[in-house]
Amino acid sequence: MTKAQGGWIRRYRAAPEAGVQVVCLPHAGGSATYFRPMAMALSPTAEVLAVQYPGRMDRVDEPHAGDFEELTERTLAAVRRAVDRPVALFGHSMGALLAFQVARRLEAEGVVPLALFASGAQPPGRSLARHTHPRTDEELLADLAMLGGTDERLLAHPDMRGLVLSALRADYRILRSRRRDDATLACPVVSLTGDRDPVVAVDDAAAWAQHTAGRFDLHVFPGEHFYLDDHWAGVSAVVTRHLGAHEPAPAK
């Protein structure tokens, strides 16, 4: 694993010969390590650049972003520095909404992503009712239990549980500052979801079609909010298929 760009970007499987880079943005409370399976599955066809938000894992001593706009701008700056090939964006849950904003900013600068992969997320034109008020520890733990995706061994250890809840509370605060956005991207949008996701119905995932002037595709997997945990191979196959027209960079 290599670390680059001021601590924001993780490369778990460097692929300098790949013709495409995929920037992956984690869910609320999540970290770059969540995308390690995708990095392994996509290499050497595509190189995964996983974003590590401040305030967690090896960045735990850094302050969290103040609001959604700050997180967007700082993520965008890191992406600009790290990307040196055609790029696609993959975000899960909160990461999908952040990826949408990064894609908007890139397109405004004349860089149209190859695709936006929006996983397990309400479309950006809708409000997120679950994040409209501050959450107590008990409410946060109930959310984690409902959504799954968090190792119960972490929650059993008081110190680790405190770090998990701290990151999740900060990200929920960031989400509360997010503004609804009805904008349309030029790039294709691919929406992915679990068929039993308790917070994103299949119809919600399909509504991402309203946010692209290009091609839209919907992929529904068996599972709940963290359906990816059981379907990394299938999810990676979807990404590979949609990016398949891009050949590896020629050797220098």
**Is the residue at 130 inside a domain?**
yes
In the chain, % helix, strand, coil (3-state, to 5) comes to 40, 15, 40
Rounded CA separation 217/245 (Å)? 16
CA angle 169, 51, 158 (to 5 degrees): 35
Residue 249 lies inside a defined structural domain of this protein: no
In a domain, 165, yes or no: yes
Is 5 within 8 Å of 83 (Cβ atoms)? no
What range does the domain containing 204 cover? 2-242
3-state secondary structure of 79: helix
From 108, 106, 60, select the one nearest 79 (Cα to Cα).
Answer: 106
According to the model, what pLDDT value does residue 150 have? 75
Which candidate in 92, 131, 211, 225 is catalytic?
Answer: 225
- 247 occurs within a structural domain: no
Domain assignment present for 184:
yes
Contact 186, 155 (CB under 8 A): no
pLDDT tens across 87-132, in order? 999 999 999 999 999 999 999 999 999 999 999 999 999 887 666 5
Whether residue 250 is contained in a domain is answered as: no
What does the alpha-carbon distance between residue 17 and residue 241 come to, in Å, rounded to a whole number? Answer: 18
Q: What is the pTM of this model?
A: 0.92
pLDDT at 6: 53
At residue 251, the pLDDT reads: 40
Note whether residue 63 is domain-resident: yes
Q: What are the average pLDDT values for consecutive 10-residue runs of the chain, which has 252 residues?
A: 68 94 96 96 96 94 96 97 97 98 97 98 85 77 83 74 90 93 97 96 97 98 96 97 63 38
Give the per-residue pLDDT at 250. Answer: 42
| 66 within 8 A of 75, measured Cβ to Cβ | no
Indicate which residue of 93, 119, 191, 236 is catalytic: 93
CATH number at residue 113: 3.40.50.1820
In a domain, 48, yes or no: yes
Told to judge if 225 belongs to the known catalytic residues of this protein, a careful annotator would answer yes
Q: Which two tokens stand for residue 52?
A: 């590590």
The total number of structural domains in the chain stands at 1
